[in-house]
Each structure stands twice: as structure tokens, then as C-alpha cells.
Structure 1
Amino acid sequence: MNTDPVLVGVDGSESAAAAARWAAREAVLRHVPLTVLAAFGFADGSFVGERYPPVEWLEVKEAEAEELLQAVRDDLAEVEPRVRIAVETSPAGPEVALREASAKARMLVLGEPTGTLSGLLAGSPDIDLVAHAHCPVVVVRGTIRPREPVVVGVDGSPLSEAAIGCAFEEAAVHGVPLVAVHAWLDADRSRLFGDRDFPFEAREAEHRLLAQRISGYSALYPDVRVERIVEQDRPRDRLIEWSSRASLVVLGSRGRGGFTGMVLGSTSHALLHHAECPVLVVRAGTTAAGDR
């Protein structure tokens, strides 16, 4: 049994507090500890004018981080009293500290991009933590709907396969249905057929692909009710639309249309910025949340 903790980063923002509450519930349902990390260093590890920050500065920042962690503890004790919490501070920047800590976590949870820590998602280096963490990453955004289905994007790629496994486990842990969405409007086919419906044989092939991809997991998780959706549309558009009635959207960091070497594809980028519920991203080289 995997007893690695759920890891969440906090920075005092409301979005990070929401992420901590989400992570606490996840830890309770999975019967694992929750690690709450407050990193107080600069993002690039530097200190203006000096190679290392003064000891006095470090002491003040560490005290502030410890005060923040106590506030998080108090909040979680009210909303999830059963959660087992370990707290950590780090003089490193948030991205570095969380990436290193993710090597010993089953899942990393972040708030949506509004604060300093959550702001990692706002610009170009924003996606670095999602892209390079050692475990699957959840960005808690939008509306929390714990009783709604888990939605997974399926496209037949190896990362999609890993996402399916994560999604089935999430649905089983939370006791909710799973919606497997396969949207298959790609550029080559669009140039060939334009706005017309694709041939019946092509559509049937996509239905078979989805059925094949989820069949093995349905056998492993017989209690998870699955709805299969095959649509002729861009994956990101369908998944964003489904996110308005989901508890969680799960997808691989890039799909079969991504360029070789890309860490995150256009669909995962779009969901991280526009989904209306939390998003779980599974990246190459990470292990599915329940397999570690």
C-alpha cells in the first residue's frame, strides 16, 4: 500500500488555503498523511546584493513561515479534523522546494494562479513546477464539487493511459462516477474533411479506441460507473466544457498531437488556466498517484 503523503504548498493566499483544504480531504480519503510546505526563499535562489541572505532575514522569514503553517493547521483542524499533518519550511524558492519535496509525495497540490506561489502558473516559467514535479500535480481552481464525476481526457497516447489509471483511482476513492471524454478533431483530418462530419468508419474507430483504452481499468475498478463520450471537437474545448460539471479533470501533460520534447501541450495549458474545477496533470516520468 502506498503511504506517501499528499503534498501541498502554502503562501498565505486564499487560493493556497483552498488547495490545502482540498489536499487535506484527499489525504483523509486515501488514509495517508498531509505534508504542508511553506517556502520563503526567492524564486531564483538569489538575494539582492549578497550571495546568501543575512541570518537575521532568514530568522524573520522562517518565523513568518512557521506562523503561517500554524494558521493552516488551525484551519484544517476545523474542516478536516481527521487529517494527519506534517509541516515543513524551506529557505529555497517555492518552485525548487516543492519540486524536491514532490519526489517523496504521491501527489502535489497547488492553488490557482492568483498569489505568489500560485503565480507560478501565470507566466512563461509558470508551468515549470507542473511540468517537472516528480509526481502528479493537482491545481485547485474553479468550483469544488466533491459529488460530481471525475472527467478524464483520453486520446490514445501513453500519457493518456497513465491519466486513465489516475482518474479511475480518483473516482473509486471519492465514490463518484467517471466520464471518459475522447474528442478527436485533429488538424490533418480537419484539412481533409473540413466542417463535414467524418466518415462513419472513422467515428467508429474512435469509439473503439476509447472502449479499448478503458476496458482494462473497468475490470480493475468494477464499482466505478463509467460514461463514455466521443465527440468531434477539439479536446481542450470539450474538457473545459465538461469541467463546469466535474469534481476533477484528469489529463496527461501532453497528448498524441504534441510535438516531441514538449513537456506540456496546448490542452493541459488551456485547462490549467480555464478549467472550472480542479485539474490533475500526469506527466511523463511521474508515477500514477496510487502506484507508488
Structure 2
Amino acid sequence: MDTSHGPVVVGTDGSPRATAAVMWAAGEAVLRDRPLHILHATGLESRSGRNLSPETAQLVLDSGRALLDEAAASATARYPDLAVSTSLGKGKPADTLTEQSGSEGLTVVGCRGRGGFHALLLGSVGLRVATHAHGPVVVVRGSEQPSTGVVLVGIRNETDLATVRFAADEARLRKATLRLLTAWSLLGAVGEMVPGLDDATSVGDREAATEQNVADTIREEYPDLTVTVDLVKASSASGALVDASAHADLLVAGARRHQRSSGRLAHVTHAVLHHAHCPVAVSHHA
């Protein structure tokens, strides 16, 4: 997926975490040499918004414009040469961001806005955008830290190759190392074991071979990129990725859907969106 031609789009509601997302998005726009577009959705077209008096609705609009002006000023203060635009919408925040997301750009959200009661969890807006956006989405998690020079991606098998390619593009953009991580357990491999072979040996060897095949493909396609592989025996793939995210600048996860519902992300992606220690990019691909 080529995301180098579209803008970096970020939503804000003025909360501290949304403000952090705006500044992260601004840095990402500079890195990509793309413009930054900041959105704020008032919700005036929702059922509750339509019940407001004209005077109150106007106050909401004025407040939203002031919020956008402040966000744009903060972004240009740090990055004076950055092209910044803003827009004020009347729809719901998640719907507005999803509509504005494009396959050739990047959409950025904070991990929780004003409505949240638990700062560690992803809010409903971020989760909905990450699930339904038309292109890649980054959920800005964790506090601002010195760069580790690592982009992390979790893989399960060769079907994740498109996600790994997206992660490779992100690593190359950042001049970072790409770290491939596969977490496996005997319990997770029940029903897939090779009869007549030692369970731990056969499962571990199979996972190692799969990961190496993916790594070899990426090294061939990205000869200038440093690629490392890690095979981790763990009870939880999501737990292993969350732990590893403490030592990464970006964690990339595929937008694989839950088998029982096309409207829900699979549990590993869902878990890292809630608990990772660094920003999480969800790659939407065909």
C-alpha cells in the first residue's frame, strides 16, 4: 500500500491525548513531506446535537474553530514549514474521520479523548476509526520517548506479508530496523501438529521456517533495510507484542477481522491497540 501521496489526517477534541496525536501527526507529515489536515467534529448532526438551541450550536461551532486554530498554531510553531489545513465537521467524530480517511494517506487518532475514564484503554472513536478506515490508521499511544530506531511487526504466517511490507515501508521511511516477531505456543497449535514428531520441536521449527521465509522475501525486496527476526514462545501473542512495543517507535498490526464478525478486529490487533507502549499502526490492505 502506497501511503506517500495523501495527507496526514488527524482528529482532535482538544484533550491532552488528542493534542499529543496532533503533534505526532505533524512530525509524521514532515517525515513524509506531506501536508497535515486537522479535523474536529462537533456532533451537531447527531440526535442530541440537533436538539440544541441555535445559540448553543453557534457556541459549539465557535469553540471548535478556536480549538482547530490552537492545534494548527501548535503544529506550525514546532514545524514552521509544514502546510497545515483544518476543517470543522458537524457529524460524529468517528464517522467524520472514517469518511476523511483515504487509501493514499495516513489517519491519526489519540488513544482516548475527553469521554474516557481509563487512560490506558483505546476510546470508541479510535477503535471505530482503526476498524473501518479506508487506509492505514495510527493510534498514538505511550508518552513521547527518545527514538529506539525500531519498527515492530507481529506475524503469524505468510498471509501477513502485505502487513510486513507496510511495516518495511515505515521502517525505511524512518531509517529504522524492522523487527519481525512471531509468538507461538503448543496450546495455540493444537490441531496443527505433525503426527510422529516431537510437538515442541515440530511447532517451533515450523514457525521459525515461516518467519524466515517472510524475512527473506522482505530482505530481497528491501535490500537497504535491516531486518531482524524473533521467535518467542509465549502464552499470548498479544502479550509478547505489547512487551516488545516498549522497545519500538511503531508497532504495525494487520486489520485482520474477527472470524465471527467482519465489524471487529481480531483479538491480537484489538489487544495491542488497547495496551501497546508505543504508537500502533493498523494496516488496511486488500
Question: Counterpart in 2 of 1:61?
Answer: 60
2:189 matches 1:201? no
Question: Counterpart in 2 of 1:19?
Answer: 21
Aligned residues: 275
The 1:64–1:200 alpha-carbon spacing in structure 2 relative to 1, beyond 3 Å, is: same
Question: Counterpart in 1 of 2:177?
Answer: 177
Question: Counterpart in 1 of 2:33?
Answer: 31
Which digits, 9 at most, give the CA deviation of each residue in 1:66-93, with x for residues without a partner?
Answer: 1111111111122222321111110111
CA RMSD of aligned residues (A): 2.8
The 1:203–1:49 alpha-carbon spacing in structure 2 relative to 1, beyond 3 Å, is: closer
The 1:117–1:62 alpha-carbon spacing in structure 2 relative to 1, beyond 3 Å, is: farther
What is the one-letter code of the residue matched to 1:45?
S
Which digits, 9 at most, give the CA deviation of each residue in 1:244-265, with x for residues without a partner?
Answer: 111111011338xx52534311
2:128 matches 1:128? yes
Q: Is there any run of 5+ residues in structure 2 with no aligned partner, and where?
A: none
Which digits, 9 at most, give the CA deviation of each residue in 1:27-83, with x for residues without a partner?
Answer: 1111111110011115x8212674xx5443332222111111111111112222232
Cα separation, 2, equivalents of 1:150 and 1:201: 29
The 1:141–1:97 alpha-carbon spacing in structure 2 relative to 1, beyond 3 Å, is: same
SS in 1 for 2:138: strand
Q: In structure 1, which of residues 246, 249, 255 is the aligned counterpart of residue 248 of structure 2?
A: 246
Contact 1:145 1:246 in 2 (8 A): no
Question: Counterpart in 1 of 2:267?
Answer: 266
TM-score (norm 1): 0.84
Cα separation, 2, equivalents of 1:186 and 1:126: 33
The 1:48–1:55 alpha-carbon spacing in structure 2 relative to 1, beyond 3 Å, is: closer
The 1:191–1:3 alpha-carbon spacing in structure 2 relative to 1, beyond 3 Å, is: closer
SS in 1 for 2:265: coil
Question: Counterpart in 1 of 2:216?
Answer: 215
Cα separation, 2, equivalents of 1:109 and 1:117: 18
Contact 1:144 1:278 in 2 (8 A): no
Contact 1:10 1:117 in 2 (8 A): no
The 1:155–1:191 alpha-carbon spacing in structure 2 relative to 1, beyond 3 Å, is: closer
Contact 1:11 1:116 in 2 (8 A): no
Percent of pairs with identical residues: 29
Contact 2:126 2:139 in 1 (8 A): no
Cα separation, 2, equivalents of 1:109 and 1:281: 10
